[in-house]
Each structure stands twice: as structure tokens, then as C-alpha cells.
Amino acid sequence: MAAKTRPKPDTPDASDRVSRIREGVTAAILEHRLLPGTKLGEDEIGEIYGASRTLVRTALQQLVHEGIVSIEKNRGAFVARPTPADAREVFEARRLIEPTIVDHACDAVSPAWLDRLRRHLAEEREAELRGDARASVRLSGEFHRLVAEISGHSIYLGFLKELIARSSLIILLYRRHDTPACGTDHHAGIVAAIRKRDKAAAREQMLSHLTEIEAELFLKDPAADEMRLADVLGA
Amino acid sequence: MAAKTRPKPDTPDASDRVSRIREGVTAAILEHRLLPGTKLGEDEIGEIYGASRTLVRTALQQLVHEGIVSIEKNRGAFVARPTPADAREVFEARRLIEPTIVDHACDAVSPAWLDRLRRHLAEEREAELRGDARASVRLSGEFHRLVAEISGHSIYLGFLKELIARSSLIILLYRRHDTPACGTDHHAGIVAAIRKRDKAAAREQMLSHLTEIEAELFLKDPAADEMRLADVLGA
DNA sequence: CAGGCGAAGATTGTATAAAGTTTCGCCTGT
DNA sequence: ACAGGCGAAACTTTATACAATCTTCGCCTG
């Protein structure tokens, strides 16, 4: 009691201004409102959030570390454009990590968490029903993040946050446009396995879920940015 | 040919000033010259590297993301003090990721890489022979990073860099002082397996190596910082 | 008329200064 | 003599100003 050295337990990352910027930009990228290659001017963002360039810069640098923004020296910040090689690495990492995460989630899950999962599935279904693609893609990523939170492993959670953010960009860039909706609802199956605490089933369903998502991608090297432009104009 | 938009491929991260600061501080922490809890004043570091606080701040924020520095609001930056729970998570993650990394390294290894590995082992042996604990601990971490570089997976490499840095702090904090040297040379065995491209053996040796390192730790919760203080003063 | 050179504009990188917060010494009152 | 509070110093945080760099667009030349 002598040392009340740290009156506030922590400022996790939600209340300060730089986090507001970071989360705002992240949400915009994850919802596919900001497309890969988009210029993220410091003044521009600063004016939107009423912050000086110092804070914007801090936020952008954090996003660089998360892999969804790239900074080119003396040219500025841009929404990242993952290559097909990046995409393969990201999904391989997810196939390695996420089965382990659901495994732990089966151990750590509580009634409160199960309720949270149930509500999340309802949100996802509702977004899909009303055809809100932006909400759908955001919620789809948040589901995986939620499972990682349940697992209670902060390291895995941190890694997965990064992987999910990159996945969102990858799906936007490389998804085959002929695939129906978002496939059947694998998330519900995963939740069912977690509820039953059936680790083997949970791992298996998570793995097949990820495999199926990756199978819907067309990972052919576009050689470079110019290549893409040629494609678009040629069509 | 029309658009020579990007003349320079990239500025990886080695030449600019902020990277010099980051790598300098990282090396100091990894070599156990900076102990957990040490205050990292901005002016102090800035003067050492002849840089202004702006650059120091950027470097420190990157180190926060790597998990070896923690910033407390309005109090400054400190060398991180991983908890036993952190330690368990870090090593669990390493046991999950590193076997996969060596697996890929067996595929991607080339004569040039093998030579690099051989030279590294020689360096490690030499440091151990002359009793240079600081070089030993640094090289030990660098070995794992080298294997990840060989694997060619940039995502795994990024994750592992973070895990290795944290591991260094963890070993410093929680290692049992009664353990002999650094154990027998597991690294040589791993290299031998890579050379033979024997994936199963490589995975197995890496896993047992990590398990053994963790087994040398004493991960008892000190409850909090105050608790540690009480222990120290009570002794 | 095509192509390249050059200056103006805009944007980022860096440093410095102002503002707010914490910490620690010191002083006062009991 | 000691507890409690006031105040100054040091530090971090944020904002602003300056310097360097790149992009763009006009103009000149071949």
C-alpha cells in the first residue's frame, strides 16, 4: 500500500488521441473503404482528426508495423499492397497459429465469452442479410480476433491482429470475383465446437475454414504495379 | 517504361539514423547491458547518438512494438520487464513457430547459407571459450534469427525477432543461476540436421532445444513489482 | 511537335520551442 | 521531531517552424 506508484492500471490503447487515429484508419482499411495504394497524407489525416502531424505520424508508424501501411522515404504513407508471396506467407502463418488458438479458446472459454460469440454470429448474419459488404468483411475479421482474445494469449493475439489486417487487404486484392457470398457459415461451426470444448473439431474446422478462404484467392504475380494498370485499362 | 515511378527499390532499414538508434539500444538490451526497468531517457539517448529527441522517440516506439521497451504515459520509456505469464506465452509461441521455420529452412538452405551457419557456430564456440557472456547471449539469439532468415518467410522472421528479443529479457530475469554454462551445443545438432535436409530431425531438435531452455527457467509469479522489491529487501 | 530541362509548389523529415504532468526537495504547522 | 502540503525542477508530450526532397507543370530547344 505504501507505493501507490501507478494509480491508473494502464492506458490500454483506446483513450488517447493517437489510438483514435490509428483505429480510425485501420477500420477504414479493413472495411475496404481505403484501397491499397491510396496515399495517406499527413496533413489530410491530421485535419480530419483535428490533430497535428506529430500524432498522425506516430499512428502511421504503428500501422507500418502492423503491415497495412507502407512508408516510402520522402514520398509519404500509402495503404500497403501485399504481394502474392506475402499472401501465401500470411495464410500459412494463420494455418499454423489459429488452430492452436482455438485449442486454447476451448480451455479458456466461459459463459460470458460464449454469449459474446453468439451475439457476434448474430451480427455477422444480420450484416450478410442486409448485404452490407463492408460490415461483413469487418465482422469476419473480428471473429478471429475474438477467438484469440478468448484464448487469453496476448502474444498470439498480437500476431493474429497483424495477420488479420493483412488478410483483409489480401482478400480485397486477390479474391476471385466469381465466388458466392462468403461461403457457408464456418464461424458458426467453430463456435459450436468451442461450446462443446471439442478441441480436435475446433482445430479441424478452423484449419479447413482458412484453407477454403485461401482457395478462393487467385495468387498470380501481377509482376508489378504497372501490370495491374495494364489489366484494368485493357478491360 | 513510361512510369519509372519508383527508381529505388527500397530503403530496407539499415542506413537511416533512427535504425541506428534502434539497433544500438536493441543490442544493449540483448547483451544484457541494459537491465529490465532501466529508464531510457530521451535526452540521454539522443545525446549518445547525436540525434534529436524526435528520432529517439521514433526508435523507442518501434522497440515498444517489439516488446522489449515499455512506455508509461508521462513517465518515459523503460526496458521491459516480462512477467512469468509473458515468458510462458513467448516460449509456447516459439515451440509452435520455430519447428516450422527449421522445416522450411531445410528446403531453402543453400551452400552459401550453410557456410554462414558454420561460421556462426564457430563464433559461438569462440565466445563461449573466452567466457564472453555478453557475446554468447547475443549470438545465441542471432542463431535462431539466422535460421528464420534462411527459411525465407518474412512473416515468421518478423514474429521470431520479437520473440527472441523478449526471450533474452526473460532468460536474464528468470534463469536459474545454478545451471551450467549454456548446456551442450544444440545449435550444432540443428545445423547438422539442416545440412542433411532431415526435416523431422530438425524439427525435433529445435523443439527439444527450446524445451530445455524453458526448463532452465524459474517462472514463479512475483505478483507485482512491489513483490520483487520486498523479496530483494527481505534477503 | 516530341522530349528534356528547370523553377515553383507541395509534402515529408528534422529540430526546436511551448505546454502539461510528475517527482522530489523543502518548508511549515502541530 | 514528524506528517503533510506547497513549489520548483525535470521530464515527457504536443505543436510549430525550418530544411530537404520530390513532384509537377510550363517552357524552351531540337
Q: Tell me the DSSP string of B191-226.
A: HHHHHTT-HHHHHHHHHHHHHHHHHTB------SHH
Q: How far apart are CA B74 and CA A113, in angstroms?
A: 34
- Judged against a pLDDT cut of 70, whether residue B9 lies above it is answered with no
> Which residue in A99, A96, A125 sits closest to A190, CA to CA?
A99
The A residues from 210 to 229 touching B (CB cutoff 8 Å) are 225-226
Q: How confident is the model at residue B220 (pLDDT cuts 50, 70, 90)?
A: confident
Cα distances (angstroms) measured from residue A217 to each of A66, A160, A180, A200:
22, 20, 13, 27
**What is the number of alpha carbons within 13 Å of residue A127 lying toward its C-beta?**
19
Partners of B40 in the β-ladder: B77
Spatial CA neighbour of A199 closest among A151, A143, A161, A160? A151
Mean pLDDT of B137-162: 97
| Positions of chain A with pLDDT under 70 | 1-15, 178-184, 221-235
**CA B2 / C1′ D27 distance in Å:** 22
Query: What pLDDT is attached to residue A14?
Result: 39
Confidence grade of residue B176 (pLDDT, cut at 50, 70, 90): confident
The pLDDT mean for chain B works out to 87
Question: Of residues 32 to 61 in chain B, which lie within 7 A of strand D by their beta carbon?
Answer: 39-43, 53-54, 57
Nearest to B153 by CA among B121, B219, B116, B106: B106
B61 within 8 A of B71, measured Cβ to Cβ: yes
More confident residue, B14 or B234: B234
Find, in chain B, the residue whose alpha carbon is nearest to that of A13: B73
Q: Which of A95, A155, A164 to mutate to test binding with chain B, by most B CBs within 10 Å of its CB?
A: A155
CA distances from B81 to A207, B171, B224, B231 (A): 35, 11, 11, 16
Going by pLDDT thresholds of 50, 70 and 90, the confidence category of residue B7 is: very low
Q: Which long-range contacts (CB under 8 A, 24 or more apart) does B57-62 make?
A: B58/A61, B58/B18, B59/B18, B59/B19, B59/B21, B59/B22, B59/B25, B60/B25, B61/A58, B61/A61, B61/A62, B62/A61, B62/A65, B62/B18, B62/B22
Question: CA A75 → C1' D23, Å?
Answer: 9
In this predicted model, what pLDDT tens digit does every residue of A134-166 receive, in sequence order? 999 999 999 999 999 999 999 999 999 999 999
Rg (CA), chain A: 19
pLDDT value at residue B223: 55
Q: How many residues does chain B have?
A: 235
From the list A99, A223, A214, A225, the residue with the least C-alpha distance to A167 is: A214
Cα torsion A35, A41, A44, A46 to 10°: value is 110
With a cut of 80, say whether residue B155 has pLDDT above it: yes
- In this predicted structure, the answer to whether residue B17 has a pLDDT above a threshold of 60 is yes
Gyration radius from chain B CA atoms: 19
Is B5 in contact with A225 (Cβ distance < 8 A)? yes
What nine digits make up the cell of A9?
A: 492500471
CA-nearest of B35, B29, B78, B57 to A62 is B57
Q: Is B6 in Cβ contact with A93 (below 8 Å)?
A: no
Query: Is residue B31 over pLDDT 60?
Result: yes
Q: Give the helix ranges, DSSP H, for chain A.
A: 17-30, 42-49, 53-66, 84-108, 111-129, 133-151, 154-174, 186-195, 199-215, 225-234
Give the type of residue at A113.
Answer: W
Q: Identify the DSSP state of A198.
A: -
Nucleotides of D under 7 A from a protein CB: 11-17, 21-23
User: pLDDT-derived band of residue B16, with 50, 70 and 90 as boundaries?
Assistant: confident
pLDDT at position B210 over 70: yes
pLDDT on residue B50: 92
Q: How far apart are CA B221 and CA A232, in angstroms?
A: 58
Q: Is the pLDDT of residue B72 over 80?
A: yes
Task: Give residue A187's identity as a one-letter amino acid code.
Answer: H
- DSSP class of residue B76? E
Residue A107 at interface with chain B, using a CB cutoff of 8 Å = no
Whether pLDDT at B13 is above 70:
no
Chain length of chain A: 235
DSSP string, A11-30: --SSSSHHHHHHHHHHHHHH
The answer to whether A170 CB sits below 7 Å from nucleic acid chain D is no
- pLDDT computed for residue B189 by the predictor: 96
Q: What is the mean pLDDT of residues B221-231?
A: 57
SS3 percent helix, strand, coil of chain B, rounded to 5, is 65, 5, 30
